[in-house]
Amino acid sequence: MVRIDKKATRLYVLDTNVLLHDPASIYQFDEHEVVIPMTVLEELDKHKNGIREIARSARQVSRTLSELTANVGLDQIRDGIPIPRLNGPEGRLRLLCYTDLTTLETLDDSPDNRILAETCRLHGERSDASVILITKDINLRVKAAALGVPVEDYLTDRVFTDSDAMLEGVKIYSNTGSELWNDLALDVTVERDHQHLTYHLNGQIPVVWHPGMLVADDEAGFEAVVREVGDKHARLELLTNYRHGASVWGVHASDCRQNFAFNLLMDDDIDLVTIAGSAGTGKTFMTLAAAFQQTLDSKRFERMVFTRAPISMSEDIGFLPGTEEEKMSPWMGAFHDNMDNLLRNEDGESSWDNGATRQLLGARVQIRAPGFMRGRTLNDTFLIIDEAQNFTPKQLKSLVTRAGRNTKIVCLGNVGQIDTPYLTANTCGMAALVQRFRDWPHAGHVTLKSVERSRLALAGEELL
């Protein structure tokens, strides 16, 4: 947009959508001044009623502003209200009110245009400072750029700067043309017990390694998960091979990434699993197989709960009658399709349409809407959260914190297919979850890139 010559004193004018997107954004500008125009306050007042997330955010912003202005006088309001910080100098909050404001010529009288006019007037009055408009509205940023108004997107809540930089959870050394042990100068000690083969490494550990990560060498056929890692030491545990002999509910892995996903899904020490990947890579299919294996066969869990964000790809179809499960049924196409494939016999016949099969699984399998999960505590549960990229970080936090005793949570998604407005690959709940739990030893993440996809699906991704 407009190249900004940032001076020592900066005034950040916040648009309404920034405050609604992150109610704590007022505290994210360090020692600089935060300016909230009167137009923004009026828009917040219009959004405060209701039970939707946008209304909750508007009320939270109003409470924050009320606390900041509670014990200050009129002179301090004019000079700037202190914004307390834990470390470093405190910032200032200014409430911008012009009684004789006129919108810019050739522009209609709308909230966006009034915010532009207020920003332009403040810019003219404060030649000693950099006045910068912060908004998540792309159209407003374009209009501001056309008028020469310094403008930026709100970037504080971005998990990473490039969507391609999202953790894959995998490090395969065959791509470098050298074997793992020859490429790394490490002292290796092997320990074997009746269940696992463990490698204790001492030396200069690669900085990209983190707990719950796959380390593989295709040339040597070595695949292990990182259990512990430090600057000078690491502990790797050899994976179970689900390609040939072992299987999960009769399902075999086709490559090292799928094999790693099965190991994470079947590992008792991993409580949180995130699986990313494009359509057709087997995310839901493998997760359901692991869920049935541990719920119906090994009895590790008492039930399986399947939920997903009820976000449509296009226009909403309107009111849906019936019970909670019946209302969620149109959103559960992926669940029903994979159940149909999992329950097929050697002759290609599926028992999923059989009433007795559905009644048997109904006692152990629950389909729940995410809007009714608040306040619940799920014990002895295998919880599957599908389409996690359509949740905000706050919504996904509400679901993950439902975990109680002996509960495993699996989040599935593809940050390249986000249907929720205002969410991006950098700000969605899926990206936040992967990044926040990167170094937790009881979490694991893998991005699937299976080649076993239909020719039509592959052609569609390349051409569209």
pLDDT digit string, tens, across residues 349-397? 665 556 556 666 767 888 888 888 888 899 999 999 999 999 989 899 9
How far apart, in whole angstroms, are the C-alpha atoms of residue 388 and residue 385? 6
Q: Which helix (H) or strand (E) holds 365?
A: strand 365-367
Structurally, the chain folds into a number of domains equal to 2
* CATH number for 96: 3.40.50.1010
Domain limit, last residue, from 108, 123, 152:
152
Query: Which of 83-92, 114-123, 406-415, 451-460 has the largest mean confidence?
Result: 406-415
Closest CA to 310 of 380, 363, 387: 387
Percent above pLDDT 70 for the chain = 83
Structural domain including 61 reads: 10-152
Contacts of 11 (CB under 8 A, 6+ apart): 32, 33, 34, 35, 94, 122, 126, 129, 130, 131, 132
Whether 4 is in a domain gets the answer: no
Q: pLDDT tens, 408-461? A: 999 999 998 888 877 888 889 999 999 999 999 999 999 998 655 555 555 555
Is 2 among the domain residues?
Answer: no
Residue of higher predicted confidence among 110 and 452: 110
Q: Is residue 157 part of a domain?
A: no
Query: Does residue 49 sit in the same domain as residue 167?
Result: no
Query: Does pLDDT of 146 surpass 80?
Result: yes
**421 and 305 together in one domain:** yes
**Residue 141 near residue 187 (C-beta atoms within 8 A):** no
Do 419 and 277 fall within a single domain? yes
* Distant-in-sequence, close-in-space partners of 88: CB < 8 Å, separation ≥ 6: 30, 31
Q: What is the pLDDT of residue 427?
A: 86
What is the Cα–Cα distance from 40 to 114, expressed in whole angstroms? 10
Same domain, 169 and 286: yes
> Are the C-beta atoms of 81 and 96 separated by less than 8 Å?
no
Q: Within this chain, do residues 129 and 76 fall inside the same structural domain, yes or no?
A: yes
Q: Same domain, yes or no, for 331 and 386?
A: yes
Are 111 and 62 within one domain? yes
Same domain, yes or no: 176 and 195: yes
3-state secondary structure of 447: strand
- At 324, give phi and psi (nearest 5°): -60, -45
Q: Which of 370, 372, 404, 371 is nearest to 386 (CA)?
A: 370
CATH number, domain of 358, equals 3.40.50.300
Shared domain check, 222 and 113? no
Residue 224 included in any domain: yes
Element housing 192 (H / E): strand 186-192
